[in-house]
Amino acid sequence: MYDAVEILGKKGYKGEIFFKQSEDLALSYEGWKLKKGELSEEAGYSVRVLKNGRVGFSGTTSPEHFNEAVQRAIETSQIGEELEFEFPGKLDAKPVDVYDEKLASINREQLIEWAEYIIEELSELRGECELKLDIGRSFGQTELTNTSGAHCVNKKSSLGISIELFKMEEGDVLIMFDMLAVTHLDGEFEKGLKTLADRLKKKYYAAKRIV
Protein backbone atom coordinates (compact mmCIF):
# COMPACT_ATOMS: atom_id res chain seq x y z
CA MET A 1 0.00 0.00 0.00
CA TYR A 2 2.78 2.43 0.90
CA ASP A 3 4.63 1.80 -2.36
CA ALA A 4 1.45 2.37 -4.39
CA VAL A 5 0.73 5.65 -2.61
CA GLU A 6 4.30 6.78 -3.22
CA ILE A 7 4.01 5.94 -6.92
CA LEU A 8 0.75 7.90 -7.17
CA GLY A 9 2.43 10.94 -5.62
CA LYS A 10 5.41 10.74 -7.98
CA LYS A 11 3.03 10.64 -10.96
CA GLY A 12 1.27 13.79 -9.76
CA TYR A 13 -1.85 12.07 -8.48
CA LYS A 14 -3.51 12.61 -5.16
CA GLY A 15 -5.00 9.43 -3.83
CA GLU A 16 -5.94 7.09 -1.04
CA ILE A 17 -5.99 3.33 -0.54
CA PHE A 18 -8.37 1.61 1.86
CA PHE A 19 -8.06 -1.99 3.02
CA LYS A 20 -10.65 -3.99 4.95
CA GLN A 21 -10.54 -7.53 6.30
CA SER A 22 -13.04 -9.28 8.57
CA GLU A 23 -14.18 -12.68 9.77
CA ASP A 24 -17.50 -13.56 11.42
CA LEU A 25 -18.47 -16.82 13.12
CA ALA A 26 -22.12 -17.14 14.14
CA LEU A 27 -24.48 -19.79 15.51
CA SER A 28 -28.28 -19.67 15.62
CA TYR A 29 -30.59 -21.69 17.87
CA GLU A 30 -34.32 -22.09 17.41
CA GLY A 31 -36.71 -24.31 19.31
CA TRP A 32 -34.03 -24.81 21.98
CA LYS A 33 -31.76 -26.55 19.41
CA LEU A 34 -28.85 -25.53 17.21
CA LYS A 35 -30.22 -24.70 13.77
CA LYS A 36 -27.26 -23.37 11.79
CA GLY A 37 -23.71 -22.10 11.91
CA GLU A 38 -21.99 -19.73 9.53
CA LEU A 39 -18.42 -18.60 8.94
CA SER A 40 -17.95 -15.64 6.61
CA GLU A 41 -14.78 -13.85 5.55
CA GLU A 42 -14.34 -10.58 3.69
CA ALA A 43 -11.27 -8.78 2.40
CA GLY A 44 -10.62 -6.15 -0.20
CA TYR A 45 -8.88 -3.00 -1.35
CA SER A 46 -10.37 0.19 -2.73
CA VAL A 47 -8.35 2.87 -4.53
CA ARG A 48 -9.38 6.47 -5.19
CA VAL A 49 -7.26 8.94 -7.13
CA LEU A 50 -7.63 12.59 -8.06
CA LYS A 51 -5.89 14.52 -10.83
CA ASN A 52 -6.85 17.65 -12.74
CA GLY A 53 -10.12 17.79 -10.83
CA ARG A 54 -11.29 14.33 -11.89
CA VAL A 55 -11.76 11.28 -9.67
CA GLY A 56 -11.01 7.66 -10.50
CA PHE A 57 -11.99 4.66 -8.44
CA SER A 58 -11.31 0.94 -8.45
CA GLY A 59 -11.31 -2.04 -6.12
CA THR A 60 -10.37 -5.68 -5.79
CA THR A 61 -10.72 -8.55 -3.34
CA SER A 62 -7.47 -10.15 -4.52
CA PRO A 63 -4.03 -9.04 -3.25
CA GLU A 64 -2.56 -10.42 -6.48
CA HIS A 65 -4.62 -7.90 -8.47
CA PHE A 66 -3.90 -4.91 -6.26
CA ASN A 67 -1.51 -3.21 -8.70
CA GLU A 68 -4.05 -3.68 -11.47
CA ALA A 69 -6.69 -1.98 -9.31
CA VAL A 70 -4.38 1.00 -8.82
CA GLN A 71 -3.83 1.24 -12.57
CA ARG A 72 -7.59 1.04 -13.26
CA ALA A 73 -8.20 3.88 -10.81
CA ILE A 74 -5.62 6.00 -12.64
CA GLU A 75 -7.21 5.23 -16.00
CA THR A 76 -10.77 5.96 -14.87
CA SER A 77 -9.68 9.29 -13.39
CA GLN A 78 -9.12 10.56 -16.93
CA ILE A 79 -12.87 10.38 -17.60
CA GLY A 80 -14.11 10.46 -14.01
CA GLU A 81 -16.47 12.82 -12.27
CA GLU A 82 -15.23 16.38 -11.77
CA LEU A 83 -14.66 17.10 -8.10
CA GLU A 84 -12.39 19.34 -6.05
CA PHE A 85 -11.38 18.24 -2.56
CA GLU A 86 -8.33 17.54 -0.45
CA PHE A 87 -7.41 14.26 1.20
CA PRO A 88 -6.82 14.65 4.96
CA GLY A 89 -3.26 14.92 6.22
CA LYS A 90 -1.59 13.14 9.10
CA LEU A 91 -4.05 12.40 11.91
CA ASP A 92 -3.26 12.71 15.62
CA ALA A 93 -6.19 10.62 16.84
CA LYS A 94 -5.41 8.24 19.69
CA PRO A 95 -6.13 4.54 19.04
CA VAL A 96 -9.10 2.98 20.84
CA ASP A 97 -8.50 -0.42 22.39
CA VAL A 98 -11.31 -2.58 20.97
CA TYR A 99 -9.33 -5.63 19.85
CA ASP A 100 -8.53 -8.81 21.76
CA GLU A 101 -6.48 -11.61 20.17
CA LYS A 102 -8.00 -14.19 22.53
CA LEU A 103 -11.50 -13.18 21.52
CA ALA A 104 -10.61 -13.30 17.83
CA SER A 105 -9.45 -16.93 18.20
CA ILE A 106 -12.73 -18.21 19.70
CA ASN A 107 -13.88 -21.29 17.80
CA ARG A 108 -17.24 -22.95 17.11
CA GLU A 109 -16.92 -25.36 20.03
CA GLN A 110 -16.51 -22.53 22.52
CA LEU A 111 -19.57 -20.71 21.18
CA ILE A 112 -21.60 -23.92 21.48
CA GLU A 113 -20.41 -24.39 25.07
CA TRP A 114 -21.58 -20.90 26.06
CA ALA A 115 -24.88 -21.25 24.21
CA GLU A 116 -25.66 -24.60 25.81
CA TYR A 117 -24.73 -23.24 29.23
CA ILE A 118 -27.27 -20.45 29.04
CA ILE A 119 -29.88 -22.80 27.52
CA GLU A 120 -29.42 -25.03 30.56
CA GLU A 121 -29.81 -22.00 32.83
CA LEU A 122 -33.13 -21.28 31.09
CA SER A 123 -34.24 -24.91 30.95
CA GLU A 124 -37.06 -24.39 33.48
CA LEU A 125 -38.81 -22.36 30.78
CA ARG A 126 -38.63 -25.17 28.21
CA GLY A 127 -42.22 -26.13 27.50
CA GLU A 128 -43.36 -22.71 28.74
CA CYS A 129 -42.06 -20.74 25.76
CA GLU A 130 -39.95 -20.92 22.63
CA LEU A 131 -36.34 -19.76 22.42
CA LYS A 132 -34.35 -18.04 19.70
CA LEU A 133 -30.64 -17.51 20.42
CA ASP A 134 -27.88 -16.00 18.32
CA ILE A 135 -24.24 -16.03 19.40
CA GLY A 136 -21.17 -15.00 17.47
CA ARG A 137 -17.76 -13.46 17.42
CA SER A 138 -16.20 -11.21 14.83
CA PHE A 139 -12.91 -9.46 14.25
CA GLY A 140 -11.44 -7.31 11.57
CA GLN A 141 -9.00 -4.65 10.50
CA THR A 142 -9.21 -1.54 8.38
CA GLU A 143 -6.28 0.49 7.09
CA LEU A 144 -6.21 3.75 5.19
CA THR A 145 -3.22 5.58 3.74
CA ASN A 146 -3.06 8.52 1.34
CA THR A 147 -0.73 10.84 -0.50
CA SER A 148 -1.28 13.62 2.07
CA GLY A 149 0.42 11.64 4.84
CA ALA A 150 -2.57 10.13 6.61
CA HIS A 151 -2.20 6.56 7.84
CA CYS A 152 -4.81 4.91 10.07
CA VAL A 153 -5.06 1.32 11.25
CA ASN A 154 -8.01 0.07 13.25
CA LYS A 155 -8.42 -3.44 14.64
CA LYS A 156 -11.56 -4.51 16.44
CA SER A 157 -13.19 -7.61 17.85
CA SER A 158 -16.56 -8.37 19.37
CA LEU A 159 -18.44 -11.22 21.01
CA GLY A 160 -22.16 -11.13 21.51
CA ILE A 161 -25.22 -13.16 22.38
CA SER A 162 -28.88 -12.25 21.99
CA ILE A 163 -31.84 -14.24 23.28
CA GLU A 164 -35.53 -14.00 22.56
CA LEU A 165 -38.17 -15.89 24.52
CA PHE A 166 -41.67 -15.86 23.12
CA LYS A 167 -45.02 -17.46 23.83
CA MET A 168 -48.30 -17.39 21.95
CA GLU A 169 -51.49 -18.28 23.79
CA GLU A 170 -55.15 -17.56 22.99
CA GLY A 171 -54.33 -14.62 20.76
CA ASP A 172 -51.77 -13.12 23.16
CA VAL A 173 -48.07 -12.84 22.32
CA LEU A 174 -45.42 -12.56 25.02
CA ILE A 175 -41.88 -11.67 23.91
CA MET A 176 -38.80 -11.20 26.10
CA PHE A 177 -35.47 -10.05 24.67
CA ASP A 178 -32.02 -9.40 26.12
CA MET A 179 -28.42 -9.38 24.98
CA LEU A 180 -24.79 -9.21 26.06
CA ALA A 181 -21.77 -7.95 24.09
CA VAL A 182 -18.07 -7.40 24.84
CA THR A 183 -14.91 -6.40 22.97
CA HIS A 184 -12.45 -8.25 25.24
CA LEU A 185 -12.42 -11.75 26.68
CA ASP A 186 -11.55 -10.94 30.28
CA GLY A 187 -14.04 -13.05 32.21
CA GLU A 188 -16.89 -10.55 32.10
CA PHE A 189 -18.68 -12.41 29.32
CA GLU A 190 -18.78 -15.69 31.22
CA LYS A 191 -20.03 -13.91 34.35
CA GLY A 192 -22.58 -12.02 32.31
CA LEU A 193 -24.19 -15.18 30.92
CA LYS A 194 -25.60 -16.17 34.33
CA THR A 195 -26.81 -12.61 34.91
CA LEU A 196 -28.40 -12.57 31.46
CA ALA A 197 -30.29 -15.81 32.12
CA ASP A 198 -31.50 -14.62 35.53
CA ARG A 199 -32.63 -11.31 34.05
CA LEU A 200 -34.61 -13.05 31.31
CA LYS A 201 -36.34 -15.37 33.77
CA LYS A 202 -37.35 -12.45 35.98
CA LYS A 203 -38.69 -10.57 32.98
CA TYR A 204 -40.62 -13.60 31.79
CA TYR A 205 -42.30 -14.42 35.09
CA ALA A 206 -43.12 -10.75 35.76
CA ALA A 207 -44.66 -10.32 32.32
CA LYS A 208 -46.51 -13.63 32.57
CA ARG A 209 -48.33 -12.45 35.71
CA ILE A 210 -49.45 -9.29 33.94
CA VAL A 211 -50.47 -10.95 30.68
User: Which range in 7-11, 34-38, 144-148, 207-211 is most confidently predicted, on average pLDDT?
Assistant: 34-38
Express as a percent the part of the chain with pLDDT over 70: 98
pTM score, whole prediction: 0.85
pLDDT reported for residue 8: 86
For residues 119 and 29, is the Cβ–Cβ distance under 8 A?
Answer: yes
What are the pLDDT digits (tens) for 3-23? Answer: 888 878 888 889 999 999 999
Secondary structure element (H or E) that encloses residue 69, with its range:
helix 66-77
Question: What are the CA-CA distances from residue 42 to residues 39, 62, 172 (Å)?
Answer: 10, 11, 42
Q: Residue 142: CB partners within 8 Å, gap ≥ 6?
A: 18, 19, 20, 21, 152, 153, 154
Confidence band, pLDDT 50/70/90 cuts, at residue 2: low
φ, ψ of residue 157 to 5 degrees: the values are -145, 155
pLDDT reported for residue 178: 97
For residues 59 and 69, is the Cβ–Cβ distance under 8 A?
Answer: yes
pLDDT reported for residue 169: 77
Mean pLDDT, rounded, for 80-105: 88
Dihedral, 73, 77, 81, 87 alpha carbons, nearest 10: 70
For residues 56 and 48, is the Cβ–Cβ distance under 8 A?
Answer: yes
